[in-house]
Amino acid sequence: MLTTLAISRFGWRSAFAIGGLLSLAMVPVAAWRLPESLDFLLARQPAGALKRVNILLAGLRQPPTSALPSGSPTQSRATARLASQLALLVTPTTALAWCVFFSTIAGFYFIVSWTPRLLVAAGLSTTQGLAGGVLLNLGGIAGCGLYAGATSRVDARRLLFFVLIATAILVCAFGLGVSDLSVALGTALLVGTMANAAMAGLYAVGPTLNPAAVRATGMGTAIGIGRAGAILAPVVSGALLDRGWTPTNLYLLFAVPFAVAAIAVRGMQSLRLASTSGTLTQVADSGASSD
């Protein structure tokens, strides 16, 4: 809403200025209020790790600890930085995660980048097109909050699967009704809710896919691959629009990445179940051998 008002008065460049300034303002806040995770501190044991662990434990209302787990932090760092790091990063699960990140972020950035303009191309006014963009962002506020609340009751991966399926369906519905003002604006709110919930799901599920020793590297790799989709999707959609594709066709096309991401999430769930089953079998075999 702020950028819509700013664009009408100061031009389109003001939207980038607002986004950049708000991002810069969050840097000191993040440095001040976002601590490292317990897993990271215990696995890597940087300088002052014990004090920082006890601060986190106090915030979680847990008793303090007098010592960190045994093991050489130097060896942990060396292991994480050498060949074993690559083995931890490149697994069937993380390969599927990269597919999820690339597909979801590509679809998301197509929606947020092109929706106002495509609404205008479909016959709506410039003001109505901007209103559609505002509704997408308002839906985003609701989507992130709803996903965060739902993960306290539902498995995050399973929830992400259903959110991605819902997003794919809603993007198709939005494309089919893009030239009808009431349908387009009503659906835009729902698309914004589900698409932003899917983005929230990426950052909820992603960190759990790598061991603590390479969690930051693994998450950074997945985000980097996703950003390639963020660059590619708007460029491809612009090229297709120049070739005569209609807004409806573009939305139907970019519903596909969300469906692909959902299939990849389902694959991750299957791998996790297979891994759990294998672990239980090993435990049972070990118990039988000891008997």
CATH number at residue 98: 1.20.1250.20
Same domain assignment for residues 98 and 66:
no
Same domain assignment for residues 62 and 143:
no
Q: What is the mean pLDDT of residues 206-211?
A: 82
Give DSSP secondary structure letters for 151-198. Answer: TTTS-HHHHHHHHHHHHHHHHHHHHHTTTSHHHHHHHHHHHHHHHHHH
pLDDT at 287 over 70: no
- d(Cα 139, Cα 265) in Å, to the nearest integer? 23
Q: How far is CA 16 from the centre of its chain?
A: 22
Domain span holding position 46: 35-81
Same domain assignment for residues 51 and 95:
no
The pLDDT value recorded for residue 75 is 47
| Inter-residue contact 137 to 192 (CB < 8 Å) | yes
Give exposure, 116-129, as e/b (b: 16+ Cβ within 10 Å): bbbbbbbebeeebb
Residue found under tokens 């601590």: 35
Cβ neighbour number for residue 264 with a 10 Å cutoff:
22
User: Per mean pLDDT, which of 29-33, 86-90, 167-171, 283-287 is the most reliable?
Assistant: 167-171
pTM here is 0.70
Same domain assignment for residues 164 and 197:
yes
- d(Cα 164, Cα 255) in Å, to the nearest integer? 10
Same domain assignment for residues 119 and 206:
yes
Same domain assignment for residues 96 and 46:
no
Helix (H) or strand (E) run with residue 16 in it: helix 13-33
Cβ neighbour number for residue 75 with a 10 Å cutoff:
9
Q: What is the mean pLDDT of residues 102-106?
A: 96
pLDDT at 168 over 50: yes
pLDDT at 212 over 80: no
Same domain assignment for residues 112 and 154:
yes
User: Hey, CA dihedral for 66, 71, 76, 78, is it positive or negative?
Assistant: positive
Same domain assignment for residues 122 and 179:
yes
Residue 229 or residue 280, greater confidence = 229
| Inter-residue contact 146 to 202 (CB < 8 Å) | no
Cβ-Cβ contacts under 8 Å for 82 (sequence gap 6 or more): none
Same domain assignment for residues 128 and 195:
yes
Same domain assignment for residues 77 and 95:
no
Same domain assignment for residues 74 and 126:
no
Cβ-Cβ contacts under 8 Å for 192 (sequence gap 6 or more): 111, 135, 136, 137, 138, 139, 140, 142, 143
pLDDT category at 259 given cuts 50, 70, 90 is very high
How many structural domains is the chain composed of?
2
Q: What is the mean pLDDT of residues 6-30?
A: 86
Amino acid in the structure at residue 271: L
Q: How many residues does the chain have?
A: 291
Any domain includes 282: no
Same domain assignment for residues 173 and 72:
no
Any domain includes 110: yes
State the Rg of the chain over Cα: 23
Return the structure tokens found at 54. Answer: 């006890």
Percentage of the residues of the chain whose pLDDT score is greater than 90: 30
Mean confidence (pLDDT) of the chain: 82
Last residue in a domain, options 48, 81, 114: 81
Residue found under tokens 């690559």: 86
